[in-house]
Amino acid sequence: MRSFSRLWLLTTAALLIVSGAAYGSGFSLFEQGAKATAMGGAFAATADDPSAIFYNVAGIAQQRKTAFMVGGTAINFSNEFRGDPNDPLTSGTTGKYRAHTFIPPNAYFILPVGSNLTFGVGVMTPYGLRTNWQEPWVGRFISRDANVKVLSVEPALAWQTSDGRFAAPTSPSTATTPPSTPSPARSPTPPTPSSTAIGTAPGDGTPACSSSRAMPSASASPTGPA
C-alpha cells in the first residue's frame, strides 16, 4: 500500500512538471484592479480593497471605511502567422495582425452599514479584447475579426461575524454587450488551412501564431471615513 501511494505521488508530480498552461480563451480579462494585477491575480485571500467585488466579494465585509476606486489596464499585443511549408494551402503565406490598444476600465464603491455589513457596487469589463487580421488573410474563412466586449455591473453585499472570522457575500450581476458591426459574408465552403505553430494566440479560433501583450495598470482609490 505504501509503495502504491509513493508511485501515485511520483506520477502526479511528474505530470505536473511536464504539463503546460492551457488557455481556453484569450479574451477573458482578470486585470480588474491595480493591486490584484501586481500580485499576479493572487488576491482572493487578501481582498482588502474595493476590487474585492470582482475577486472575492466576501472581502468587502472586512473593509470598514467608505471607499471609491477607479482604474484601467492598458493592453497591447501583436500576432503574426506563418503557413506550414508542407501544407499546399498555407505554404508561403503569412498573416499580419491589425494592432489595437485596449484600456478596459473598472470602478468600485463600498459603503459600510453598521458594524457587520458592507454594501458595494462594481463596474468591470470581464471581456474586452479583439483579434483583427489584415487582408489578404489565408485564415479568413476561420476567423477574420473577433471582437468580444462585455461591461458588467455588479452590486454586492457582505456580512461578517462580530469577531471577523466569518463572512457571507451575495452579489447578483448584469452584463451588457455593445453592438458590433458584422463582418462581410464569406464563401460557405472554404478550404481549411493548417499551420506551423510559432506561439499562442488569443483564443479566436485562428491557426496558431505568436502573441505577447504588456499590461501596465493604474488605479486611484481615495478613501474617506465611514
Bond preceding residue 136 cis, omega within 30 of 0 = yes
At residue 155, does pLDDT exceed 90? yes
Q: Rounded distance, CA 197 to CA 205, Å?
A: 13
Please give the model's pTM, rounded to 2 decimal places: 0.64
- Extract the runs of DSSP E, i.e. beta strands, from 103-225: 105-113, 117-132, 145-160, 167-170, 174-176, 210-214, 217-220
Q: Give, in order, the Cα–Cα distances in Å from 153 to each of 71, 119, 131, 179.
A: 15, 14, 25, 17
The whole-number pLDDT of residue 197 equals: 30
At residue 60, does pLDDT exceed 90? yes
Rounded to 5 degrees, φ, ψ at 111 are -140, 110
At residue 133, does pLDDT exceed 90? no
CB 225 within 8 A of CB 65: yes
Q: What is the pLDDT of residues 24-39, one digit of tens each?
A: 456 788 889 989 988 9
The whole-number pLDDT of residue 145 equals: 86
Q: What is the pLDDT of residues 180-196, one digit of tens each?
A: 544 444 443 343 333 33
Q: Rounded distance, CA 23 to CA 193, Å?
A: 22
CB 43 within 8 A of CB 54: no
Domains of the chain plus CATH, in order, are: 26-180+190-220 (2.40.160.60)
Q: Give, in order, the Cα–Cα distances in Å from 221 to each of 43, 112, 171.
A: 17, 16, 21
Q: What's the average model confidence in pLDDT over 80-109?
A: 88
